[in-house]
């Protein structure tokens, strides 16, 4: 999608493409079908090598003993705990599945927002930034630690920034902890957006109370907006 919109890129291949578009539901269906296919293939691979798949909530009762389901108990020589993972949500942020979503919601691609903030710059966040920028969304990263892709070698983070972030319209902030979701229906913008004065919101949050923040608070209160300020994001 992104490459189709790049006229110079396509001309290098001798191709001319009219205005490119996409079918959101088609993209979502493809993602779901791909995930389902991977799950089926993994299941078949396990069965092919003689692995028994037992369905139910597991509980370790003691050494070499596991309970699953309501009253099924098996004994085994070794136990491997591989429970998978769930999205990590910072304290103070409430997920509603609409204005605040997790990667599980994002994978369903029920809608494509004009702007999306991604909390955390690990590989999952980078993958979704690639998807949503390709679909036309404006993306902002908020990373609590002082570098992108923390936990990975710094060289990998720099490579990700050079290849996945810099060429795209992605804004990012490191060393910033996302700790609050502003109320639904409110408007949160940066000074760059505020400077354009494309609209006058009923309520606006100004992050930081330096001279720039004070100038904008003066402007927007004069225009009739209710203004909230914060020293920390």
Do 158 and 203 lie in a common domain?
A: no
Question: Where a domain ends, among 181, 198, 214?
Answer: 181
Do 102 and 168 lie in a common domain?
A: yes
Q: pLDDT value at position 230?
A: 46
Q: pLDDT value at position 167?
A: 87
Q: pLDDT value at position 118?
A: 87
Domain count, the chain: 4
Q: Kindly report the CA angle at 78 between 74 and 80, in degrees rounded to 5? A: 95
Q: pLDDT value at position 74?
A: 93
Give a three-class secondary structure readout of the chain. Answer: CCCCCCHHHHHCCCCCCCCCCCCHHHHHHHHHHHHHHHHHHHHHHHHHCCCCCCCCCEEEEECCEEEECCCEEEECCCCCCCCCCCCCCCCCCCCCCCCCCCHHHHHHCCCCCCEEEEECCCHHHHHHHHHHHHCCCEEEEEECCCCCCCCCCHHHHHHHHHHHHCCCCEEEEECCCCCCCCCCCCEECCHHHHHHCCCCCCEEEEECCCHHHHHHHHHHHHCCCEEEEECCC
Q: pLDDT value at position 32?
A: 84
Do 118 and 167 lie in a common domain?
A: yes
Do 109 and 150 lie in a common domain?
A: yes
Q: pLDDT value at position 233?
A: 40
Q: pLDDT value at position 49?
A: 96
Mean pLDDT by 10 residues, the chain (233 residues): 58 62 81 89 94 90 91 92 82 80 84 84 87 86 85 88 86 77 52 60 59 68 66 42
Do 138 and 114 lie in a common domain?
A: yes
Instruction: Read off the CATH number of the domain in which 199 is found.
Output: 3.50.50.60
Do 136 and 122 lie in a common domain?
A: yes
Do 114 and 135 lie in a common domain?
A: yes
Please say whether the beta carbons of 230 and 175 come within 8 A. Answer: no
Closest CA to 102 of 27, 90, 188, 37: 90
Q: pLDDT value at position 204?
A: 63
Q: pLDDT value at position 73?
A: 93
Do 117 and 189 lie in a common domain?
A: no
Domain holding 215, by residue range, is: 182-233
Question: What pTM did the predictor assign?
Answer: 0.58
């Amino acid at each position: 999608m992104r490459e189709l919109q790049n006229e110079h890129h396509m001309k290098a291949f001798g191709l001319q493409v009219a205005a490119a578009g996409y079918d959101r539901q088609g993209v979502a269906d493809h993602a779901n079908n791909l995930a389902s296919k991977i799950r089926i293939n993994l299941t078949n691979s396990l069965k092919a090598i003689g692995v028994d798949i037992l369905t139910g909530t597991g509980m370790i009762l003691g050494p070499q003993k596991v309970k699953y389901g309501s009253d099924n108990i098996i004994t085994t020589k070794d136990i491997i705990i591989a429970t998978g993972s769930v999205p990590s949500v910072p304290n103070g942020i409430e997920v509603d599945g609409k204005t605040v979503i997790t990667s599980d919601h994002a994978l369903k691609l029920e809608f494509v927002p004009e702007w999306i903030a991604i909390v955390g710059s690990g590989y999952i966040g980078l993958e979704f930034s690639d998807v949503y920028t390709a679909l036309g969304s404006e993306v902002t990263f908020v990373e609590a630690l002082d570098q992108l892709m923390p936990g990975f070698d710094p060289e990998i983070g720099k490579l990700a920034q050079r290849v996945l972030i810099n060429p795209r319209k992605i804004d990012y902030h490191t060393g910033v902890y996302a700790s609050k979701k502003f109320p639904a229906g409110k408007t949160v913008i940066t000074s760059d957006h505020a400077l354009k004065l494309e609209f006058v919101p009923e309520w606006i949050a100004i992050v930081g109370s330096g001279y720039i923040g004070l100038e904008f608070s003066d402007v927007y209160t004069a225009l009739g907006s209710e203004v909230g300020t914060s020293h920390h994001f």
